[in-house]
Amino acid sequence: MKVKINNTTKDYRTVWFEPKTGTIKLIHQNKLPHNFEIAELKNHTETANAIKTMIVRGAPAIGVTAGFGIAQACMQAPETEFKKYLIDAAELLKSTRPTAVDLFYVIDRILNKIENSDSIDNKARAAEIAVSESQKIADENAAACKKIGEFGNELIRNNDKILTHCNAGALGCVDWGTALSPMRIAKQEGKEIFVFADETRPRFQGSKLTAWELLNEGIEHGIIADNAAGYFMQGGEVDLCIVGTDRTSACGDVANKIGTYEKAVLAYENDIPFYVAAPLSTIDFNIQTGGEIPIEERSEDEVLVVNGERIAPEGSHAMNPAFDVTPAKYVTGIITEVGVFKPGEIKNLKSVIN
């Protein structure tokens, strides 16, 4: 992705791994939009903490970072008790955030690769496999997101106004993004587009991160309060919606950032197409419906405290579910790296995945 710092533009991935030192480097998302900093994670414990505290966030970015965390664990484990160290590291990384399925998909994929090559008792060989497989997964995600952009771009007409929720951009992935990728490509192809970025309470991924990405890309946009989406939809100002997903069930129900469900219902009510951009790694073929997706509950402080200042009376409590489930009936299509599908067709894609 393009990052403009002062007057220069540089290309960055959200997260990458330096195998020589075993260091993960990533864009520190809690510092954006005002400060652009690269965080360095030296071991899998720091990596787990970065995922939990959302220094890195977004389903594919979480998955790829955890994969690099497994590589760190393999490289840094003691020779004795290697297997136990690795399994504990995997458990720790998996315990960070429950909803995004990429986290589990990536960790299990690397562990299976190690097991299947009979390397679970061979630290050096296991480390080699974990490094190369995690790098491969990162590259696959970047390529998948670019394809999503190409397929999604075909759904965007010149002068379209597009609504998105949360940040499903390059920052939530390795590069390109899921929901934002079609917008990047539409812009690069010379289409005039306008993006409504929901601010996305309580953590403001829309106003802090999506707006930052759109600015870097030169895409015209406006930030709206979450509860303003219906107003703009009813007024005929929104041509289509594109959002991301943390986990999609086999029947096409979609768990995404809290507030996605109400946007989908509003879009349905106002006859506005509602697309979900989903790399295949975010589809959980093991579960049938959205009701089975674990929903993360985060600290009430994210709701009660803004910029370090409590905004609610002392003594009031808050509920803070981080995701909700949009039933498949509200989803017009799911944009993947292998094409755009009706939610009911998703289950047929199982054979395409690694």
Contact flag: residue 257 with ligand MRU (CB under 6 A): yes
Task: Spell out, one character per residue from 196 to 215, where the chain touches ligand MRU: x when CB under 6 A holds, - when not.
Answer: ---------x----------
Pick 47 or 245: Cβ nearer ligand MRU: 245
Contact flag: residue 172 with ligand MRU (CB under 6 A): yes
Pick 134 or 210: Cβ nearer ligand MRU: 210
Which residues fall within 8 angstroms of residue 171, CB to CB, at 6 or more apart?
1, 14, 27, 29, 32, 57, 58, 61, 177, 209, 212, 213
Pick 129 or 293: Cβ nearer ligand MRU: 293
Contact flag: residue 164 with ligand MRU (CB under 6 A): no
Tell me the C-alpha distance between 169 and 184, whole Å. 10
Pick 205 or 207: Cβ nearer ligand MRU: 205
Contact flag: residue 281 with ligand MRU (CB under 6 A): no
246 catalytic residue (yes or no): yes
Contact flag: residue 322 with ligand MRU (CB under 6 A): yes
Contact flag: residue 320 with ligand MRU (CB under 6 A): no
Give the length of the chain: 354
User: Dihedrals φ, ψ of 71, to 5°?
Assistant: -60, -45
Q: Which of 102, 175, 198, 246 is catalytic?
A: 246
Smallest gap from residue 17 Cβ to ligand MRU (A) = 19
Contact flag: residue 221 with ligand MRU (CB under 6 A): no
- Specify the stretch interacting with ligand MRU by CB under 6 A; choose among 82-90, 129-137, 242-250, 339-347: 242-250
Smallest gap from residue 256 Cβ to ligand MRU (A) = 5
Smallest gap from residue 65 Cβ to ligand MRU (A) = 11
Contact flag: residue 256 with ligand MRU (CB under 6 A): yes
Question: What's the Cα-to-Cα distance from 174 to each of 12, 81, 93, 251, rounded to whole Å?
Answer: 9, 33, 18, 27
Smallest gap from residue 99 Cβ to ligand MRU (A) = 8
Interface residue with ligand MRU among 57, 187, 208, 263 (CB under 6 A) is: 57
Given strand 38-41, what is the order of strands in its sheet? 15-18, 23-27, 38-41
305-306 and 283-284 beta bridge pairing:
unpaired
Tell me the C-alpha distance between 261 and 284, whole Å. 19
Task: Spell out, one character per residue from 59 to 88, where the chain touches ligand MRU: x when CB under 6 A holds, - when not.
Answer: xx----------------------------
Smallest gap from residue 173 Cβ to ligand MRU (A) = 5
Structure-token pair, residue 42: 């030296």
- Within residues 90-109, the interface with ligand MRU by CB under 6 A covers 100
- Specify the stretch interacting with ligand MRU by CB under 6 A; choose among 15-23, 40-48, 52-60, 283-291: 52-60
Q: Which amino acid is at 285?
A: F
Q: Which residues are catalytic?
A: 246
Residues in touch with ligand MRU (CB under 6 A) = 57-60, 100, 166, 168, 172-173, 177-178, 205, 244-246, 256-257, 322
